[in-house]
Structure 1
Amino acid sequence: MIRKELYESVHGTLRGETLKHVQCLEKYFETRREATSQITILPNFCKDSDMTNFLATLFPKLKGLPIYRGLLVELRPTYEMSLGDFQWLYPQISKRRGIINMPSSASVDSIKNRIRDLKEMTIKDFMQKSETSNEYQMSPFYNSVGIYECNSSSSEWGTTESSMAVGFDLSLDKFLIHFLYTLIENNANINVVDFFKLLTTSRIEGQNLIQKVSEMVQGVMEYVLDVEEHDFDWVTDETYNYFYKTNHSYFFFNHAVNMLKMNKRPVAFQSSTLAGFTLYKNNITNKHDYHFVFPTDAGFLDQFHSVDDLSTTQKDRLETAFHWERHIIPFNTYLMKKCHPVTIKEWKQLENTLQVLNEKFYRTYFNRLSTHNVYDFLHPKEIIALQPGDRSAHVRFPLHSKHLILQLILDNYKDLSIHEIINPKYYDTRRRMLMLPKELAKLVLEHDV
């Protein structure tokens, strides 16, 4: 029932935490075997820690439920939906990714300023459930709008040309996450046929889901590019985290696209948030062993890049090419998460298997991305590793009794008293957080044995 060969063809035999996650899914679908056709573990399969923690905060009933990326789920019409399905039903439903060539007359600096000015929701906005404004606000997780640079060469003339484009990765979370959760919670044991009907026909402010997302993308891109939609010069456009139905099955493409539905448009693939998009030519034939699927990204590893390991050039690029609400959190977990490599021969073989051709690369020139304010969810070791600056740079930690850093300070204050940590100078009054020099924070963490 669970196909693993596509993942294993790239990364080798399942092992460690990844194996445990797959076994968790196997256990979940075992009781739903008769209504489940097939689950395919894609090469970008991983647990999404930020989304797992966000949903648990937003919906207490989902606490302890892992949220996964990189799955192709095939269900029979008799499959009954439940809240446990959020393991595979990624909540950023009907997410859109696209690339639009920048008008020749456009000012790069003007576009950059408009992108920088895009507003963003906070986690608190989701929690308050207040009246939702019609004004667009970027999701606090996994959204981005950026400027990308593509170099193309002529083998005949030996020349190189550079072009600029605007790329986006957007989900309408302010409307759709609560909508999706409520749809499942209020319709206990609804089968996937009726669920799909409700999902596609329910009205949100007079529009269905697809129309609402399309309106959002149109509005954001018209604002950023300062041109009307009919003047967009599209490179590509794709929808993922969505259902597709056949006569006998319902497919959910989790962080994957259905190339059959793309009408030969190229696939925009993200090797990492730091790098940019690889454009793949959609070269599918009538026969495809994996239902015309292709992953949208390389997939996360369970570790971050450490600031201390970066070169000066890399640190400068982080500072100048990427924008988020740095006054809220000085690092970005979406940006700093390590990803699977795609320069290995196994990945090239996967491209052949899934029928795509590497066409060109769009390098990130400037990117405004979601802030990912996840201070409360990170281990102190991760916070220290991600914090920019040298050994004297101040690292902020949540100030509550259950946080590991505060526990270590209190339990080991006899050893740490020489540093006078219980001191107003180590308290950030504006953010109400503990604020320690990086070197001192590492010293405290050494007591975690």
Structure 2
Amino acid sequence: MTSSTDPIPADFPPPRSCPMHQPAEYERRRTEAPVAKAEMPGGGSAWLLTTFDDVRAALSDPRLSSDRRRQGFPRYAPTIGINAAVSSGGSFGDRPLMIGLDGDEHAQARRAVLGEFTVKRMRALKPRIQEIVDDHIDAMLAGGSSADLVQALSLPVPSLVICELLGVPYSDHPFFQSCTTTLLSWKSNSDERRAGLVDLYGYIKRLCTDKENATDPGDDLIGRQIARQREQGGAVDHQGLVATALILLIAGHETTANMISLGTVALLENPGILARLRDDPALTPAAVEELLRFFSITGPVTSRVATSDIEIGGVPIREGEGVVALLASANHDGTVFADPAAIDIDRGARHHVAFGYGPHQCLGQNLARLELQIVFDTLFARIPGLRLAAPVEELPFKSDSTVYGLHELPVAW
């Protein structure tokens, strides 16, 4: 197996020749240096993993830590150098967010909220999600014959859903969306990112405190966590509650919002596939899986650091060295997915790693799937003449963000 110290470009991730496709650099690495040590823009170096098998092996290996406080943890950008940087999944104070926990500590935090995201609970949410989607499409249609889909649908739908699930007032969404944008943008400097996190953390802390002090904390995720902890031990783990609510609020809307926008572009650019979905909505779940694989929009959450000497893909990795499991590259591994650069809704791509893999696999994946299915089925059924109002190459893609997507999506009908 080949390894190297070939440095990655300063504008890592590598540039895309087409905004709708993964960087060609990933294919080159899978062929020439699937496990390659590279200089990280944020300082230091890390091993880049590009094949499907190596990525899955790394993400299920307990000897690779998610703790952002450890020396050698990979930094995606120079501005991600503080423990409190939520954009790199860091910590606030001395309590890491869930994606920065390891072992039993992570399992305990995850287990506490896992029941909130079961398939059964998602089924119960389906009518309300459908109502939210219908309301926003009603507003689009009432507003004329064009819209920015990001602001009209992609962003508000998952934002409202996660707000209702958590018990966060949706009227505050402009505030937390602004904070999230600052945290996820690689253009934000350390001071801006720290300020955004302090503001957002303070907001969630006050919300949790108010619920803890209330006679009835509410029938929502935060309220149920408070009630459960009191039933089990009498005291509420306030700091843990705040950390959980914080990461769920950020992750619960930003990723799905970007997938709605990107998926809409992909389907409009592939009219044959879109026609099949209109004729047979039973195909939509498979289409969602394929779109998730195709775009693989998340990045730094799959960074790790070795806690002992290990070997991946035949390459020795020493204790204290960073590892970056490139999900997008893994999901375009031609040995696993034939013709990976094509969107093929018949390939059966549910084994993709767009939601990660192993103990840290995305908690909210069932919710994301449900939202995407409802949005795509409803949007294209109710607005059959939907079209892009600008060429794909002129759309403002998020090449500067932890989560890939679109800043705006002008559409017309």
Judge same fold: TM > 0.5, yes or no. no
Whose Rg is larger? Answer: 1
Structure having the larger proportion of residues in helix? 2
Higher relative contact order (CA 8 A, sep 6+): 2
**TM-score normalized by structure 2?**
0.30
